[in-house]
Amino acid sequence: MSSDAIALVPSRVSSRPIVEVLHDWIVTVDHKRLGMLYIGFALLFLVIAGIEATIMRIQLAVPHNTFVSPEVFNRMFTMHGTTMIFFVAMPLVFGFANYLVPLMIGARDMAFPRLNAWSFWMTAFGGLLLYFSFLGGNGLYGAGNAPDIGWFAYAPLTARAFSPGHSTDYWTVGLLISGFGSIGTAINIIATILCMRCSGMSLDKMPLLAWLNLVMAGMVFLAMGPLSAAQIMLIVDRYLGGLFFDTQAGGSAVIWMHFFWIFGHPEVYILVIPAFAFVSEIVPVFSRKAIFGYPVMVAATVAIGFVSLSVWAHHMFTVGMPSYGNAFFALTTMLVAIPTGIKIFNWIGTMWGGQLRFATPMLFCVAFLFQFLIAGLTGIMLSAAPFNWQLSASYFVVAHFHYVIVGGILFGVFGAFYYWFPKMSGRMLNETLGKWHFWLFVIGFHLTFDFMHIPGLLGMPRRIYTYEPGRGWEIWNQIVSIGAAFQAIAILVFVYNLVVSYRNGRPAGSDPWDAWTLEWSTSSPPPAYNFAVLPTVRSRRPLWDAKHPEDPDWKYE
């Protein structure tokens, strides 16, 4: 309805001088541009952190390898983990939330556009600071460059005595700053969803994506607050001579673990709930059915968010907690499986009896369902404290959480790319390249992370830079490294697809998937003001109502 008014805008933009275009992107407060900045920033860091992972897999492909030194290996796993969580996964999640939430709730922008820009640039600045450590981490001491403390930076590794120079400072300040950016974006997401919905969109008529992002943003406060506090304490220790984590002065190394994981475990759900959101939007459209059990999906998400706040110490079973502590955290961790299982059944219930269309977004979502299920099952295995004592800090754990983050979150994000790229760019992603990307990545993912469980079960600890031959680990590590190569090729196909399709992809039109939520009612890409006339909705699927006036949803909801 609003697509005619703005057809001229793209052609006018492309003819302007490059400096002006860049200037526009830097000063922008438009939620769509900031969303794409977030996503572009995340893709850049995805490639960087992927290269770091590749370096580690080359090093571990054969025993006694000398591809990198032990010091470099430590830096690689620290930077890979930190980058992937804080500067790939978080910006991807925030980028899609930024782009999609206002469009899906029929708003013209986020509640606080300038706060939005501030938040993005804080995140970007944090990422640049972290990577500046490669140059600046030397300081005056001539020691180290990038941080080598692991992504959870346990005390006393971060103490001045064990981390001379400035590498740890870049790590902590970078995360503190990007954490403030995350809090800013979370404030924005909640204020946007609560205060900017179009007429008629009561909370029970919001798209599930908006609901899930609301829960995610609420969790950001409860997770990022503690992380920021812990980082401030670390800065006090390192710069002002504080004693928080100095065990010789009565401080506690374990309390850092608590503070970090009070952030760290909700963080997993902060990342996976938006992936749930993508799947909850894509699966119905490609099954040609409304989502099954909408209220239960919302309730299950809120339940996951709530329970996940009290599971953090399952990362710390081997520290030696009292038995009631172990029992509590084992039980709460297992409890998360119930609402998560409900969600998986609901997605299957949505597909059940539907007219399935296996376009690339749907392929990624189906793979997500299987892989996230397995990731959850190994999670339940690890939640049993005695089992955890045996396998904590082994490659089994590494395989488990990569199954969650790659097999779950990243597959959901890839689905989102194929589904919403036409809206963002006005062009379809190439379907053939998409299928190549999908199958190469599925093969690479399973080669790497299925077989990574086995050396863990055989006793291979994480974070070792090499290993002795003859322990039965060689063949598994080789398979894992070969899988990494497949994944790298798949990512290259994906990036190639993004570039090629952005230039000469098939024009998408406003609604290429015959979908039902408001973002498909405006042109692709949407004009700066999103909607010429703010929409009014009467059901959860406003475009279904518009396309089928004889049988609208609001008669049944």
Binding site for other proteins (CB under 8 A): 111-112, 115, 183, 186-188, 190-192, 194-197, 199-200, 217-218, 220-226, 228-230, 232-233, 236-237, 240-244, 249-252, 255, 259, 262
Evaluated on CA atoms 161, 163, 169, 175, the torsion sign reads: negative
CA 139 to chain centre: 32
320: part of which helix (H) or strand (E)?
helix 317-320
Query: Closest Cα partner for 313 from 262, 268, 279?
Result: 262
Compute the distance between CA of residue 37 and CA of residue 29 in angstroms, rounded to an integer: 11
Whole-Å CA distances, 451 to 194, 464, 474, 485, 489 = 45, 17, 12, 14, 19
Rank residues 84 and 311 by Cβ distance to other proteins and give the closer one.
Answer: 311
Contact between 167 and 148 under an 8 Å Cβ cutoff? The reply is yes
Q: How far is the CB of 244 from other proteins (least distance, A)?
A: 6
Question: Is the previous residue joined to 507 through a cis bond, with omega within 30 degrees of 0?
Answer: no
Q: Which residues are 461's β-sheet partners? A: 394
Q: How far is the CB of 428 from other proteins (least distance, A)?
A: 35
Query: Closest Cα partner for 405 from 267, 262, 272, 266?
Result: 272
Quickly count: other Cβ atoms within 10 Å of residue 428's Cβ: 21
Contact between 68 and 59 under an 8 Å Cβ cutoff? The reply is yes
Q: Which residues are 394's β-sheet partners? A: 461
Q: How far is the CB of 471 from other proteins (least distance, A)?
A: 41
**Helix 294-307 crosses helix 208-240 at what angle (to 10 degrees)?**
10
Tokens of 329: 């955290």
Contact between 80 and 21 under an 8 Å Cβ cutoff? The reply is no
Rank residues 192 and 388 by Cβ distance to other proteins and give the closer one.
Answer: 192
Place of tokens 């501030």: 118
Contact between 421 and 519 under an 8 Å Cβ cutoff? The reply is no
- Residues near 375 by beta carbon (within 8 Å), at least 6 away in sequence: 400, 403, 404, 407, 408
Q: How far is the CB of 236 from other proteins (least distance, A)?
A: 6
Rank residues 69 and 199 by Cβ distance to other proteins and give the closer one.
Answer: 199
Tokens of 184: 């800013």
Query: Closest Cα partner for 296 from 351, 329, 344?
Result: 344
- Residues near 388 by beta carbon (within 8 Å), at least 6 away in sequence: 314, 317, 318, 382
Rank residues 23 and 114 by Cβ distance to other proteins and give the closer one.
Answer: 114
Compute the distance between CA of residue 73 and CA of residue 27 in angstroms, rounded to an integer: 39
Rank residues 65 and 252 by Cβ distance to other proteins and give the closer one.
Answer: 252
Question: Is the previous residue joined to 526 through a cis bond, with omega within 30 degrees of 0?
Answer: no
Q: How far is the CB of 234 from other proteins (least distance, A)?
A: 11
DSSP class of 29: -
Compute the distance between CA of residue 271 and CA of residue 261 in angstroms, rounded to an integer: 15
Rank residues 212 and 515 by Cβ distance to other proteins and give the closer one.
Answer: 212
Q: How far is the CB of 245 from other proteins (least distance, A)?
A: 10
Tokens of 188: 């924005």
Q: How far is the CB of 233 from other proteins (least distance, A)?
A: 7
Place of tokens 């990731």: 375
Q: How far is the CB of 213 from other proteins (least distance, A)?
A: 13
Tokens of 348: 């299957």
Rank residues 227 and 416 by Cβ distance to other proteins and give the closer one.
Answer: 227
Q: How far is the CB of 537 from other proteins (least distance, A)?
A: 11
SS3 content of the chain, % helix, strand, coil (to 5): 70, 0, 30
Whole-Å CA distances, 463 to 70, 160, 312, 445 = 10, 22, 21, 20
Q: How far is the CB of 197 from other proteins (least distance, A)?
A: 6
Tokens of 213: 């992002």
Q: How far is the CB of 269 from other proteins (least distance, A)?
A: 15
